[in-house]
Structure 1
């Protein structure tokens, strides 16, 4: 039994029987790309009570690799744990990896792989990770309900920034339209994962496959708004926000608008020590987003509230009652 992350509500328990036959393909894929070695320590900075951290905890125990639990530690302490234990693999959340990059410290030479998972890895952060860690960065994608769906290798992230990679052996990705018809490469629909359970499972995520089978995500299926007669998704807006060098993270929620019908409100976590202002950020967005995509409201904050897996908290089912509080905005 594994709990969901609770991003869109109260965490739910998910149970799924896993046969040896089901596990063989994904496990061999992972070990061929990110070899975990017996007796070589693994630092798990992701919370072990959710799927991503739990997988690496279980893998280390199964292989006889010491597992160093670093959830809740700061970026300097996580790097120190890697150095102290001569760890070969670090698995962490994107927000943890972003803060490690901000330290400006050289990574320990024992690291062979840095794995990101449990939350989106933006192209901007991916580029920064590659600058700091070199060709050792991997990105995992999956959901508690649907299972592990894709892995992006360093080559994938270099050639196709923003991808979450390809399906492991024994798993198949399908992109379906609302009627259940398959979508061709380059066309978006809901992501379905086959291989972990009979009949496959919907992820609730929207995305598309390129011609090489790499998956790109574009937000949740139910995240789209109609603004000024145009369908607008949050992922491109969030990407434009986080591409600013003084923005650490951003979360969006729809708000009613008299002119456009709906528009976005964006809560933006600003990098510590930055003097970024709202007018400066709006100037940045004007050159990168269409008019309908421009957030109506920008709220600059020092810290966004997050789930234990590092995702900003928005309760869509409650109409946004758990959204970040504008009263917590920076003065």
Structure 2
């Protein structure tokens, strides 16, 4: 293992004389923050393409110099200082990434916000945080009382105009800063949000990066597509990992299955990070165009057993399933070999992370709410509840049983939507599905399923109900099964349950 580690780090040039020298120099030149990653990489691989956005390419040297230039412009124009609170609301594009590195270089605390937040949700966050600035894509209206700067605008000063301004930006050298916070907002589209912030100490990146590097053999690849939004924890982790690897990062502002498949095929992309619904979409669009993929990394939501098996059967041993939390990042990893023998597993805990299951306040060896503890968590070395109900087998494989806060009481019985989902997903004619809970006058709450059928099937709600009856308990039976053409998807790539709940109440009135 030690030899394999040394070889991997040498391959990506980090464990070389130059790599170690530039790492030490980065702390003196730009500080211990995200910009240090870019400083090292632009020294080691200056001409390597860093970002490919719709075939508009920028190499690591240019990405670094432009991000440095932008940092100086933001210091002059916005007077951004260390430990100010700067929100970024932007989709995946080059300017967003440059902004991220520039703000880190200035030592300000960064808050990555969901681009689909409502004005009310944004105001609630502003009341709690008190941002000094919000940097946002121009199509996102900022309707709260806070200073704002668009990423681009035809008339106003914007990040783009600051990048293009060649005038001397700043009289003097930027102060070297260390350990600014990077905060990711979670659950923003549901109305119930929480913020998970972490500083840029080395341990917050080195241990998880090492786990990914070794288990996923990432040193072998240099073309990575980031399908998830960078403002999501999964996305920002992939960005940092890609810079450390010196890989070319492929991005698009929005996920489109056809464009993603075509991009993978055109550029022989080897690695993609995405959530299961995105994987399902590209597999349904064109498996043939995905043949160059050597490492598919899913996470952020449960993945169906049928999708796991289909991916491995059609693309080979390329699928890795990651389970993580906003507080700790990566917690469990399931390798292709794990998924072949246990297709529903979340994997095993990564090295350095402790896990336990709690049931009614007592530790349980088999099933309960998952608690995790690791040195790189935002909670330090304290146990943190994940909110997920998990089961563990004798080989230390973990399996998701549902969310603790998703449980409903239907006719006096405790019911989890996830259990019904796991049953329905085994139906051979169902391609996609999700289950929601709704209020019910008779039972208090009931489950409702939305399913997407495979082409040329003749299933109806009645035939699906008949198929379900012998497999689940009566209290788990859905109130309705709606057959729809496609599941609605949030910008993050998860099923938009809020939209489905609204659709149920609209349909129930008919």
Q: CA deviation at 1:145?
A: 3.2
Q: CA separation of 1:134/1:7 partners in 2, compared to 1, >3 Å: closer, same or farther?
A: farther
Equivalent residue, structure 1, for 2:364: 183
Report Cα offsets for 1:245-283 as digits up to 9, x if no partner: 23412122143252x453212233445665532112212
Report Cα offsets for 1:44-99 as digits up to 9, x if no partner: 11122201122111211222111001462322321222222222211122111112
> Higher RCO, 1 or 2 (CA under 8 Å, sep at least 6)?
1
Q: CA separation of 1:140/1:323 partners in 2, compared to 1, >3 Å: closer, same or farther?
A: same
Report Cα offsets for 1:118-150 as digits up to 9, x if no partner: 111011211111122111101011121343211
* Higher Rg: 2
Is the Cα–Cα contact under 8 Å of residues 117 and 141 in structure 1 kept in the other structure?
A: yes
Matched, 1:29 2:211: yes
Residue 217 of structure 1, aligned match among 393, 396, 400: 400
Give me the whole-angstrom Cα distance separating, in 2, the residues matched to 1:324 and 1:207.
Answer: 29
Report Cα offsets for 1:212-248 as digits up to 9, x if no partner: 2211111111222233443222112011223222341
Is the Cα–Cα contact under 8 Å of residues 305 and 324 in structure 1 kept in the other structure?
A: no
1:323 is paired with a residue whose SS is helix
Give me the whole-angstrom Cα distance separating, in 2, the residues matched to 1:5 and 1:273.
Answer: 36
Matched, 1:59 2:241: yes
Is the Cα–Cα contact under 8 Å of residues 275 and 494 in structure 2 kept in the other structure?
A: no
- After the TM superposition, which residues 135-214 of structure 1 pair with which residues of structure 2 at under 5 Å, given as runs? 135-179=317-361, 181-184=362-365, 186-187=366-367, 189-195=368-374, 196=377, 197-198=379-380, 199-214=382-397
Is the Cα–Cα contact under 8 Å of residues 300 and 323 in structure 2 kept in the other structure?
A: yes
Q: Report which of the two has the higher share of helix.
A: 2
Is the Cα–Cα contact under 8 Å of residues 273 and 298 in structure 2 kept in the other structure?
A: yes
User: What are the ranges of 5 or more consecutive residues in structure 2 without an aligned counterpart?
Assistant: 1-182
Report Cα offsets for 1:30-52 as digits up to 9, x if no partner: 11111223871101111222011
Q: CA deviation at 1:175?
A: 0.9
Matched, 1:325 2:325: no
Q: CA separation of 1:272/1:114 partners in 2, compared to 1, >3 Å: closer, same or farther?
A: same
Equivalent residue, structure 1, for 2:103: none
Matched, 1:290 2:469: no
Q: CA separation of 1:7/1:157 partners in 2, compared to 1, >3 Å: closer, same or farther?
A: farther
RMSD: 2.5
Give me the whole-angstrom Cα distance separating, in 2, the residues matched to 1:121 and 1:16.
Answer: 27
Q: CA deviation at 1:23?
A: 3.7
Matched, 1:302 2:480: no
Equivalent residue, structure 1, for 2:413: 230
Give me the whole-angstrom Cα distance separating, in 2, the residues matched to 1:11 and 1:310.
Answer: 17
Equivalent residue, structure 2, for 1:318: none
1:78 is paired with a residue whose SS is helix
Give me the whole-angstrom Cα distance separating, in 1, the residues matched to 2:441 and 2:190.
Answer: 23
Aligned pair count reads 321
Equivalent residue, structure 2, for 1:252: 436
Give me the whole-angstrom Cα distance separating, in 2, the residues matched to 1:291 and 1:101.
Answer: 34
Residue 451 of structure 2, aligned match among 268, 277, 286: 268
Report Cα offsets for 1:153-201 as digits up to 9, x if no partner: 011111112111111111122111231x2111x32x1111111232032
Report Cα offsets for 1:88-121 as digits up to 9, x if no partner: 2111221111122223532544322111111110
Q: TM-score, normalised by structure 2?
A: 0.58
User: What are the ranges of 5 or more consecutive residues in structure 1 without an aligned counterpart?
Assistant: 316-320
Give me the whole-angstrom Cα distance separating, in 1, the residues matched to 2:503 and 2:496.
Answer: 11
Is the Cα–Cα contact under 8 Å of residues 209 and 241 in structure 2 kept in the other structure?
A: no
Q: CA separation of 1:28/1:300 partners in 2, compared to 1, >3 Å: closer, same or farther?
A: same
Q: Which segment drifts farther, 279-288 or 42-51? A: 279-288
Give me the whole-angstrom Cα distance separating, in 2, the residues matched to 1:193 and 1:155.
Answer: 24
Q: TM-score, normalised by structure 1?
A: 0.87
